[in-house]
Amino acid sequence: MNKFGNYLKDSYKELAEKVTWPNWAHLQQSTMIVLVATIIITLLVWLMDFVAGGGLNFLYKLLYS
């Protein structure tokens, strides 16, 4: 149990003294980058799904008509 207590103390000390936390402006900038990247990736996945679905529908119509 002593090792676990030391682990908690050391973890708190590291978070309080050694970690550099971002300021508000940097946090907002990082959030916007993540948001834009998420939107772009979502659009790319949607486009690939749309193209694949259209291609499969074309093949199904061609083969089963």
* Cα dihedral 36, 37, 40, 41 sign: negative
Using the predicted structure, report yes or no on whether residue 4 has a pLDDT greater than 90: yes
Using the predicted structure, report yes or no on whether residue 7 has a pLDDT greater than 90: yes
Using the predicted structure, report yes or no on whether residue 52 has a pLDDT greater than 80: yes
pLDDT in tens, 14-51: 999 999 999 999 999 999 999 999 999 999 999 999 99
How does DSSP assign 22-52, residue by residue? P-HHHHHHHHHHHHHHHHHHHHHHHHHHHHH
What integer pLDDT is reported at residue 1 of this predicted model? 77
Using the predicted structure, report yes or no on whether residue 65 has a pLDDT greater than 90: no
- pTM of the complete model: 0.67
